[in-house]
Structure 1
Amino acid sequence: MIDISGGESSPLNGRGWLIGVGLALVAGVVILGGIQKIASMTSRLVPVMAVLYFLATSAIVLVNYQQIPKAIELIVVGGLTGEGVKGGLIGVAIIGIQRALFSNVAGVGSAGLAHSVAKNNRPAEEGFVAAWEPFIDSVIVCTLTAFAIIVTGQYQNEGADGIILTTNAFSTVHAAFPVILSVCIVLFGFSTVLSYSFYGRQAAGFLFKGNRFACRMYDVVYLLMIVVGAAVSLETVTRFSDSVFFIVVVPNLLGIYLLSGKLKEEVQGYRRLVDSGECEVVPEHERSTLLGKKKVEVSPRSTIR
């Protein structure tokens, strides 16, 4: 936001807390409105953000299509040969895991809080839907970002953070492209703020046995932390996030290991139902809606074939 509004001469330079206040005010309207408001808002923001970003990065890659073979070569050499791990295998693995968790939080377990409120007859149904999330985020979106940075030569700009590298890559196509990127970043940040508010609120509700006052106090503290997060450096935020993610990953992976038998049983049982055509469709009155539109009517006892 500071970079796109003038950099060092920006009125926001050195006043990141102002961005935090603005974000907290808008987020507060949604968060204090409850889970329905959060779900409604994020269901609109995320598709718009993803499509907009996909089109923009695709345009950058197409404009620089002659550099695509070189980009693929650099990615392969950097990731699959000794050149990519000369700084230390363990160090590269740690940084890679940190960035992967920060990117899509796969393995942290927080996504289960969101998927748990979906209407499905079998847990495996929602599990297969959830599996698309890290694929879209890391394999598609992040790969496009990497291609955009490499084909424009911005990867040689050592010392710049990811946002600056991506902004510079976008600016090589058209002066309006950094604005598009900024819109995507704001939408991404806002949707993330909303989803994590729900995760934390669910945890607070469990700890305080659904006490409404305690949950409301959590909302207030959460909104205040948005301002704090905007005021401190990006490095401080990422280091704190990495530490907290590690703490959460340990019990989550332990739980997955201990429940692996049940997980295997559920997945295999669901596959057998699908293969035999006996998988029941969720009754129409229990279904959620997409962008406020009713889904096609299907008999409650219909089967998928």
Structure 2
Amino acid sequence: MELINEFLSSILPYTEWVMLFLIIGGGLFLVFYSKLLPYRYFKHALRITAGKYDDPNDPGEVSHLQALSSAVAATVGMGNIAGVAIAIYLGGPGVVFWIWITAIIGMSIKFYSCSLSIMFRGEDSDGALQGGPMYYITKGMGNRAKPLAVFFCIAGLFGVLPAFTTNQFTQTLMKVIEPDKVFMVLGDFQWKLIIGVVLSVITSFVIFGGLKKIAKVATAIVPFMVMVYLMAVVYILLTNVSGIVPSFKLIFTEAFNLKTVVTGGLWGLIIIGIRRAVFSNESGVGTAPMFHGQSKTKEPIQEGLVAMLGPFIDTIIVCSLTAVVIIISGAHLETETNGIAMTLNAFESSIPYGGVLLMVVVSAFALSTLFTYSYYGTKCLSFISNAKIGKFYNFVYVGSITFAAVASVDLVINLIDLSFALMVIPNMIAVLYLAPRVNEAMKAYFLKVK
């Protein structure tokens, strides 16, 4: 395990530079190339999501809301609770500012990539309609670009494994319930193994039901889990009103801390923010277009606008609230805690039965993420081989849940960060190359809307 972790750690710095250039550089290009039009139609995006323009006769499998819920279910999860805590642990409160910047840029990337997922839909070996990076790479850029699509899918097979979610959920359960202290017959490792097996069984019941079942479950869980979490956070903020402004002030001042600049740490701070924001909302990675490509619509721009809401919900709103709670509670000052443990400390010190409440929310977050991520891996394997073989990915996926429950958090983070960075390369190359096609469709659509 240690050798694998060291190998991943040695490669990560190189891939980070490429990710930085493509997501921040490419994302900023898309922001200005779009002339901020997608952001100006934010209200229209909400109306599309609400079903104002739904047509049941349009091609696709799920509604705009179901596609967004499924994509958000995969992102509004442990990345927003544990991921933010890890970012603050590594870079301090100032890292939150860079998470915001990446999310705002990410909204534009989501708009372009998910518009392309509808614009260049293809068919799998069974003749079923499919969308996603592998299809807009091959259909938009031509067959000469197929190696890029295959590279994306291979990286995706590892990137969408449920490692981080399972690992952090197991940590939460062990810390709150402490089964190894109540039932001392079994040790820490054995209990983690049991949790992993139980999660594998629960996940199996949903993911083997296919996309429609995943979308149905995600649409039911996502609104509930977000509301419960927001209510808990609002309670903490209302009981600590005096700490809200100082918390935001600390985020802004630490983001440009002169001491950090002098010691050469500012660049590292920005990198941490980008890495955690990318994991939080997956902008530029190419996973969300796989869900959004299944929407029942003929309008690529409509789906792009709906997808743009994803980074806003999971990063600008949920991540920010988590960060403020951690800072207000002072949990970020406890240097020995990392990941979900830091967020748990914040909740336990700020709200009655906070640890139990967070465990309930985390359970919903974790399960919704586990249910949705499997779909990405199935699509990646189906593209490389065929639809029949692709379904076998679910068995690998379920097995990896048990492994992740007992793995170290450092190994899990490095594996996901490296895989995501590798997925960014082919996806962003295609998005930037095909951006003019989206702009053409965007101008025509907004003229029609007016």
**TM-score, normalised by the number of residues in structure 1:** 0.85
Return the offset for 1:122: 0.5
Change (3 A) 1:174 1:91: closer
* Aligned equivalent of 2:216, options 32, 37, 40: 40
Task: Tell me the residue number matched to 1:239.
Answer: 414
Task: Tell me the residue number matched to 1:53.
Answer: 229
Task: Tell me the residue number matched to 2:384.
Answer: 207
State which structure, 1 or 2, has the greater radius of gyration over its C-alpha atoms.
1
Change (3 A) 1:263 1:150: same
> Deviation string for 1:137-191 (max 9, x for gaps)?
1111111111111111112111311311211111123332211111111211111
Residue 151 (1) aligns with residue 328 (2): yes
* Aligned equivalent of 2:202, options 21, 26, 29: 26
Aligned-residue RMSD, C-alpha: 1.7
Return the offset for 1:90: 2.7
Decide whether the 8 Å contact of 1:77 with 1:83 is kept in 2: no
Change (3 A) 1:6 1:209: closer
Return the offset for 1:84: 5.1
Return the offset for 1:87: 4.6
52-61 vs 182-191, which moves further: 182-191
Q: Matched residue of 1:3: which SS? A: helix
Divergent runs of 4+, >4 A: 83-87
Q: Matched residue of 2:283: which SS? A: coil
Decide whether the 8 Å contact of 1:101 with 1:108 is kept in 2: yes
* Aligned equivalent of 1:251, options 414, 421, 426: 426
Task: Tell me the residue number matched to 1:293.
Answer: none
Return the offset for 1:216: 3.2
Write the letter of the residue equivalent to 1:260.
A
Residue 13 (1) aligns with residue 193 (2): no
50-59 vs 162-171, which moves further: 162-171
Task: Tell me the residue number matched to 1:107.
Answer: 284
* Aligned equivalent of 1:93, options 262, 267, 270: 270
Q: Matched residue of 1:159: which SS? A: coil
Quote the Cα distance in structure 2 between the aligned partners of 1:237 and 1:186: 19
Return the offset for 1:270: 1.4
Change (3 A) 1:108 1:129: same
153-162 vs 224-233, which moves further: 153-162
Return the offset for 1:13: 2.7
Decide whether the 8 Å contact of 2:382 with 2:391 is kept in 1: no
Task: Tell me the residue number matched to 2:175.
Answer: 3
* Aligned equivalent of 2:241, options 60, 65, 68: 65
> Deviation string for 1:247-283 (max 9, x for gaps)?
10011110111001111112222111111xxxxxxxx
Return the offset for 1:83: 4.4
Which protein has the bigger helix share? 2
Quote the Cα distance in structure 1 between the aligned partners of 2:413 and 2:335: 19
Q: How many residues align?
A: 273
Residue 261 (1) aligns with residue 436 (2): yes
Residue 75 (1) aligns with residue 247 (2): no
Decide whether the 8 Å contact of 1:3 with 1:10 is kept in 2: no
Identity of aligned residues (%): 34
Quote the Cα distance in structure 2 between the aligned partners of 1:253 and 1:88: 27
Write the letter of the residue equivalent to 1:237.
V
Quote the Cα distance in structure 2 between the aligned partners of 1:87 and 1:128: 38
Decide whether the 8 Å contact of 2:236 with 2:351 is kept in 1: no
24-33 vs 3-12, which moves further: 3-12
Task: Tell me the residue number matched to 1:221.
Answer: 396
Quote the Cα distance in structure 1 between the aligned partners of 2:251 and 2:180: 33
> Deviation string for 1:100-147 (max 9, x for gaps)?
112111110100000111111201101101111111111111111111
Write the letter of the residue equivalent to 1:221.
V
Unaligned runs of 5+ in 1: 276-305
